[in-house]
Amino acid sequence: MTANIDAAKAALSHMEIDDAGPQLKTKSRDFFWYSPVLKARLDHVLGDFVVAPRNEAEVIEVLRTCHAHDVPVTTRGAGTGNYGQAMPLAGGCVMHMKNMAAVKDVAPGRVVVEPGCLLKDVDAACIEHSGQELRMFSSTWATATIGGFVAGGSGGIGSITWGSLRDPGNIIRLRVVTMEAEPRVLEFRGEELARVSHAYGTNGIITEVEMPLAPAYDWVEMFVAFDDFMSAATFAVDVANLDGVLSKIASVYEAPIAHDYFQRVRPHVDEGTNLVGLMVAPHSMDGFLTFLGRTQGAELIYRSDDHDWQKHPGPVFEYGWNHTTLRALKVDPSITYLQVRFGFPEHLEKVAKIREMFSPEVLHHLEVIRENGKAMFAGLSLVKFTTEARLDEIVRLHEEAGCMIFNPHRYTLEEGGRQTVDDRQLAFKREADPKGLLNPGKMIAWDDPEFGFETMYAYPKLKAAE
Ligand code: FAD
């Protein structure tokens, strides 16, 4: 099977196409470089052309054409994903969804939107329509698309109350186009959503998304300082468990993260400050402040609706989730990160144990999330990178300590996820992408069903550097 790039490009030439220069390079990359391991392996990756369909009919045309000419297709939202999710490992077509960004319908509790719409634009439309907002969004809210969030993300701001994207009810419906000689348009709800959500676009292209909404608030954003790290972590979980207080995020930053990496926060903290970043609904502030007053060692150093900071710190959520890593990387390029699950009910014990084992080589950055109704931690720990061998050892020691790792130094769905084959996604790929042309190299189960996960998977058809 040899890709006929020129024939595909010629057939699609009536659409917006980039096939050279900086645009092609930029659109072939995402935030893979957060990982020194992926940076070493994927830096050269380049698609052959970028095409930007304007509607579902043009998506079908792109897929039909690329199928006919055996051209791989890697879909791109805004390319803010980590893990190299949106990178065309085998070259070919990058299908950019930027021109499919319409908000089609807003109703009580739901929005129907095209996949290329930015998360911030979804929220703006829903707020204007009826004072509603997305239940959860990634901290790349200002730049990322809803389609990319559903296909590549996991959760984020809002997960403290609503859990993760994979939880039943957090996506209502997806409309998906298959990669066949004559592409089909399918609709998925309920149990079937797992086939294509968080599948990196390896088995279908999402052309319409229906998401649940919650009431929108002017969230009060805060930083609370603690001298003692475990007190900060305990406080963050306790806030999530306050039955009468509505919160949207609770992030915990081990000292000296706030001092060393948060430039606008730095004048207000010292090296020993452990910080908690929060968003609380305005009507919950009395309840929150009551609880804060009962908490030993907690000092409210910033609230967005009442402060005297000379330099506005910007949205508190842009310190959380993977923005913490970004801020650290800007100051110290040798920093990388891990994604860790500190599961209920031993979340606090595990955090304490890992801290004993690794601090300061690994600094805790925790996000409180809800899983099966229980508040616990997603860790996006900051790691001082030395060697790949040491990074692998840190991963192994976390796992031996009972912490699940979603390894951000791998580019496959399985290794970045739960290290198991998702049979539903694989079965749907067999049906929807029989030639294996969608986002190649990202699903091990497709390429090498016998792979044992002892070493890092190396996609054999990774396009070589030129
Ligand atoms: P892209 O990166 O363009 O794509 C992501 C994946 O989805 C790719 O595999 C792509 O092929 C696929 N895809 C895109 N559109 C479609 C489509 N229409 N149909 C099928 N497949 C498609 N993630 C979180 O979950 N939570 C966070 O809080 C978070 N914070 C982040 C902070 C920073 C600073 C960075 C760099 C990343 C963060 N991420 C986070 C990762 C990423 O930003 C989010 O997952 C984001 O929502 C991805 O959207 P995107 O439009 O950039 O998708």
What is the tens place of the pLDDT at every residue in 86-128? 999 999 999 999 999 999 999 999 999 999 999 999 999 999 9
| Look-up of token digits 């707020």 | 127
Report the nearest-CA residue for atom 50 of ligand 1: 148
- DSSP code string of 17-62: EE-SHHHHHHHT--GGGGSHHHHHHHTT---SEEEE-SSHHHHHHH
**Residue 1 banded pLDDT, cuts 50, 70, 90:** confident
What is the tens place of the pLDDT at every residue in 268-295? 999 999 999 999 999 999 999 999 999 9
Percent of the chain with pLDDT over 70: 100
- Check residue 421 and give its pLDDT: 79
From the CA of 147, how far away is ligand 1's center (Å)? 8
Tokens at 177, concatenated: 């186009």
Average pLDDT over residues 393-409: 96
From the CA of 98, how far away is ligand 1's center (Å)? 13
Ligand 1 atom at minimum distance from 155 CA: 25
Count Cβ atoms below 10 Å from residue 47 Cβ, excluding itself: 29
**Residue 443 banded pLDDT, cuts 50, 70, 90:** very high
Domain segments of the chain as ranges: 5-97+424-447, 103-216, 220-384
Look up the CATH architecture of domain 103-216: 2-Layer Sandwich (3.30)
The candidate with the shortest Cα–Cα distance to 258, out of 220, 287, 286, 299, is: 299
- Check residue 420 and give its pLDDT: 80
Stretch (H or E) spanning 258: helix 257-261
Domain spanning 5-97+424-447 has what CATH number? 3.30.43.10
Predicted confidence (pLDDT) at residue 258 exceeds the cutoff of 80: yes
What is the tens place of the pLDDT at every residue in 404-441? 999 999 999 999 988 787 899 999 999 999 999 999 99
Lowest mean pLDDT among 61-75, 135-149, 153-167, 417-431: 417-431
Among 140, 160, 339, 438, which is best to mutate for testing ligand 1, by the most ligand atoms less than 8 A from CB?
140
- Check residue 418 and give its pLDDT: 80
| Look-up of token digits 């994903």 | 81
Predicted confidence (pLDDT) at residue 64 exceeds the cutoff of 90: yes
Predicted confidence (pLDDT) at residue 464 exceeds the cutoff of 80: no
For the chain, the average pLDDT equals 97
Average pLDDT over residues 13-31: 95
Query: Which residues are registered as beta bridge partners of 381?
Result: 338
Domain spanning 220-384 has what CATH number? 3.40.462.10
Pocket (CB within 6 angstroms of ligand 1): 30-31, 74-82, 85-86, 97, 115, 138-140, 144-145, 147-149, 151-156, 200-201, 205-206, 321-323, 326, 439
Q: What are the CA-CA distances from residue 235 to residues 194, 232, 252, 298, 415 (Å)?
A: 34, 5, 9, 9, 32
Predicted confidence (pLDDT) at residue 465 exceeds the cutoff of 90: no
**Are the folds of 5-97+424-447 and 220-384 the same?**
no
Q: Identify whether the C-beta of residue 249 lies closer than 8 Å to the C-beta of residue 277.
A: yes
Q: What are the CA-CA distances from residue 88 to residues 30, 72, 97, 129, 277 (Å)?
A: 10, 8, 15, 37, 36
Q: Write the Ramachandran bin of 80: left for phi over 0, alpha for psi from -120 to 50, otherwise beta.
A: alpha
**Residue 154 banded pLDDT, cuts 50, 70, 90:** very high
